[in-house]
């Protein structure tokens, strides 16, 4: 995974000027081969998630936020995450994965956290705090989850699918 940081700016609606936000960073998230789980289906879904999340981040960083574009991307992410988690969960069930319960708990926690952010986006719009929280959740949680939980699942699936 590669994160590139630079100063985050916000377009001030009153003045039309881009205003730098102290301490806030824009980010670019990119899938890299070190995140491969060994399952081509799961890895392909991760690649697509990274692309869509990066697209959302780019929208945040443009300064001028198109509400309809953000709403579409956030809705897609909600649906795609559910589909992706469903794929992983089906494999866990089919092959009696012993860490299934803990893995499912992580998925449920992400869905709950992302749902809260989605609600905030709909209510508050993309204020800097919501944008930064979204970035942190999507990068920190997703990368950590893939590196540890999904890679472990991938190794398990490789052994079971031989």
Q: What is the pLDDT of residues 82-114, one digit of tens each?
A: 999 999 999 999 999 999 999 999 999 999 999
- Say how many C-beta atoms besides its own lie within 10 A of residue 73's C-beta: 19
Per-residue pLDDT at 19 exceeds 60: no
pLDDT at 146: 96
Phi and psi at residue 9, to the nearest 5°: -125, 155
| Closest alpha carbon to 107 in 131, 86, 76 | 86
Average pLDDT, the chain: 82
Q: State the pLDDT confidence band at 148, using cuts at 50, 70 and 90.
A: very high
pLDDT at 26: 60
Phi and psi at residue 65, to the nearest 5°: -95, 125
Residue 68: give its domain's CATH number: 1.20.120.50
Instruction: Look at the chain and report how many structural domains it folds into.
Output: 1
For 76, the domain range is 2-160
Give the separation between CA 24 and CA 55, rounded to whole angstroms.
18
pLDDT at 65: 61
């Amino acid at each position: 995974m590669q994160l590139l940081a630079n100063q985050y700016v916000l377009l001030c609606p009153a003045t039309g000027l881009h205003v730098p936000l102290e301490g806030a960073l824009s980010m670019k998230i990119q899938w890299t081969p070190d995140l491969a789980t060994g399952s081509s289906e799961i890895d392909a879904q991760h690649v697509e998630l990274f692309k869509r999340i990066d697209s959302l981040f780019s929208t945040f960083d443009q300064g001028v936020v198109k509400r309809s574009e953000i709403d579409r991307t956030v809705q897609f992410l909600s649906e795609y995450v559910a589909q992706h988690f469903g794929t992983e969960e089906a494999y866990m069930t089919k092959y009696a994965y012993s860490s299934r319960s803990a893995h499912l708990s992580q998925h449920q926690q992400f869905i709950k956290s992302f749902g809260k952010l989605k609600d905030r986006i709909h209510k508050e719009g993309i204020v800097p705090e919501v944008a930064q929280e979204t970035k942190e959740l999507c990068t920190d949680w997703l990368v950590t989850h893939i590196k540890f939980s999904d890679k472990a699942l991938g190794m398990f699936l490789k052994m079971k699918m031989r």
